[in-house]
A and B are shown apart, each in its own frame.
Chain A
């Protein structure tokens, strides 16, 4: 379906663009972010490494406080300097370390090649400008040579693309006149206006009803495939993964503890945390009588130093090594159970 009609040749059709520019690859190396709320020191992100390949939908999944949102913001240097600091690490996008860029240089990437959508769409949109004008502004910001007419027609196309029912009418509406789901679609349209290659979506559907959630995720999936983007999807909701993402990284207490293709993750979770968490979520397709597993205790206090594996105090399969040394990520999981020394515990784990 050709969505781009009669515009300047800045816009090639999606397939052409795929050939022209390789969708970018993101590689994160050992990212550490510390926050300083009121004099305390909180290590929110503690040595995170992962990559995103072209055309891939990757999820970072974890509960609140695990550091996933902070990490997403750190990738594009959105951590305010008075609140926190990126202590260490590299974020390689197309070979360029984003963390080494100045704010001015960063703006070439942020909001352009790397788009972002957030949880509360209505709060991210300006309440004073119509939805259509906001998209027009975003578009002209990144295509300064375009005329107003071009920008407006592109904005309408985008509204259509995100499946807003009456694009012409919505164009002239203000965010408060639209429902939550529609605002989210507008935010997606805004993010897409500059033709990003990577889209970072931070809990984009959390505030929405279940039926709308499904629609938005379908939309994102379709757009991603159509335009050959990659998506980094941040969520706390495991149930959203299997229909949407290729790969998932499980985050706990600022660290990545497991990484796998989504089907593998659900079928054979390797990390005790992942396994316990999956068991504690009721599923529609499972019989009612299967008991909900409970993970006792609470996540660790990130303002205090953590010795060894962060999940260790709550883990049923602790090895002697867990309390002293943090397990390295080997074979896509960070857990001492996979060390040949602790075979027995491993057997216990797999048989449970």
Chain B
């Protein structure tokens, strides 16, 4: 196991205030993600896991805490320096129906990261990369001129994945990537993610409420409840021997159903 974590979050806190109400979405969160070990983040709705993802991506600003990616504190970076980091830190969102600009073709969607970061490439070169990425994620390159609504949910998610891969990131944050997909398609996407990890040396922070899927995909696990991490560690250990009350409740609900 590599010595220092790829991603390290320390004491992260975020409170949202609206008029008189304030909600602490994330509180005192500490997480470590190591290079070769996928980290799963489970929690129910309202647990703060999506907020945590946005904080790591610097789409939201935390009130307190530090986020270290490859040893660098992201919160201290300027906008420009953060751009360089973004090439290595990407994201896939849940909703395949809102995650893609409905006016852009698949090709334009996947090409966008290249347009932002690789301006020196010619259009043909960029297009070549796009087609290659489409094949990599299992999409027919002939569909590159189609609009998002002409694809199925699973295919849109593949487009999202292709977009995330365009800049060869080291870490992809997957925020409930399969929750909105059919059961038989879920396994397709998970297998795809697994294969890409092996082929490209990627890693994932996999956020989900689907405990069984997280167990299947992730080496390490963190359980989130009301903004706090209540348990974390090796996923097999946690599943077979949960310590925290909430983790136990979660696992027992699922196994009761199964």
Interface residues of A (CB under 8 A from B): 63-65, 209-211, 213-214, 217, 236-240, 242-244, 276-277, 280-285, 288, 292-296, 298
B182 touches A288 (CB 8 A): no
Interface readout for B33-52 with A: 1 if CB under 8 Å, 0 if not?
00000000000110000000
> Which A residues are in CB contact (< 8 Å) with B209?
209-210
- In this assembly, does B80 line the interface, its C-beta being within 8 Å of a C-beta of chain A? no
8 A Cβ contacts from B223-258 to A: 236, 239, 249-251, 253-258
Closest A residue, CB atoms, query B44: A209
Secondary structure call for the B interface? helix
CA of A240 to CA of B188, assembled, Å? 21
Closest A residue, CB atoms, query B189: A294
CA of A210 to CA of B152, assembled, Å? 26
- In this assembly, does B87 line the interface, its C-beta being within 8 Å of a C-beta of chain A? no
B44 touches A284 (CB 8 A): no
CA of A214 to CA of B254, assembled, Å? 8
**Sample of 14 further A-B pairs with CB below 8 A, known A214-B256, A242-B258:** A210-B250, A210-B257, A211-B250, A238-B183, A242-B257, A280-B187, A284-B258, A285-B258, A292-B190, A292-B191, A293-B187, A294-B187, A294-B191, A298-B154
A217 touches B257 (CB 8 A): yes
| A284-B255 contact, Cβ under 8 Å, with A292-B191, A298-B152 | yes
> Which B residues are in CB contact (< 8 Å) with A210?
44, 209, 211, 250, 253-254, 257
B213 touches A284 (CB 8 A): no
B257 touches A64 (CB 8 A): no
A63 touches B183 (CB 8 A): yes
B45 touches A209 (CB 8 A): yes
B256 touches A239 (CB 8 A): no
11 contacts across the A-B interface (CB closer than 8 A): A209-B44, A210-B257, A211-B44, A211-B253, A242-B258, A277-B184, A284-B215, A292-B191, A293-B187, A295-B187, A298-B152
A237 to chain B, nearest CB (A): 8
- In this assembly, does B23 line the interface, its C-beta being within 8 Å of a C-beta of chain A? no
How many B residues have CB within 8 A of the partner chain? Answer: 30
- In this assembly, does B117 line the interface, its C-beta being within 8 Å of a C-beta of chain A? no
- In this assembly, does B212 line the interface, its C-beta being within 8 Å of a C-beta of chain A? yes
| A292-B216 contact, Cβ under 8 Å, with A213-B257, A214-B256 | yes
A31 to chain B, nearest CB (A): 23
Interface residues of B (CB under 8 A from A): 44-45, 152, 154, 182-188, 190-191, 209, 211-213, 215-216, 236, 239, 249-251, 253-258
A236 touches B182 (CB 8 A): yes
Please give me the 8 A-B residue pairs with the lowest Cβ-Cβ distance, nearest first: A280-B187, A282-B216, A214-B253, A209-B44, A63-B182, A282-B212, A295-B184, A292-B187
> Which A residues are in CB contact (< 8 Å) with B213?
282
| A243-B44 contact, Cβ under 8 Å, with A280-B184, A284-B211 | no
| A64-B182 contact, Cβ under 8 Å, with A211-B250, A284-B254, A292-B190 | yes
Taking a contact as CB atoms closer than 8 A, the residue among B182, B188, B239, B249 that contacts A211 in the complex is: B249
B120 to chain A, nearest CB (A): 38
Q: Which of A276, A280, A282, A285 has the most CB of B within 10 A?
A: A282
Closest A residue, CB atoms, query B155: A298
> Which B residues are in CB contact (< 8 Å) with A242?
257-258
A285 touches B255 (CB 8 A): yes
> Which A residues are in CB contact (< 8 Å) with B256?
214, 243
> Which A residues are in CB contact (< 8 Å) with B257?
210, 213-214, 217, 239-240, 242-244
A284 touches B239 (CB 8 A): yes
Closest B residue, CB atoms, query A242: B258
B187 touches A239 (CB 8 A): no
B139 to chain A, nearest CB (A): 13
B65 to chain A, nearest CB (A): 26
CA of A277 to CA of B256, assembled, Å? 20
Closest A residue, CB atoms, query B182: A63
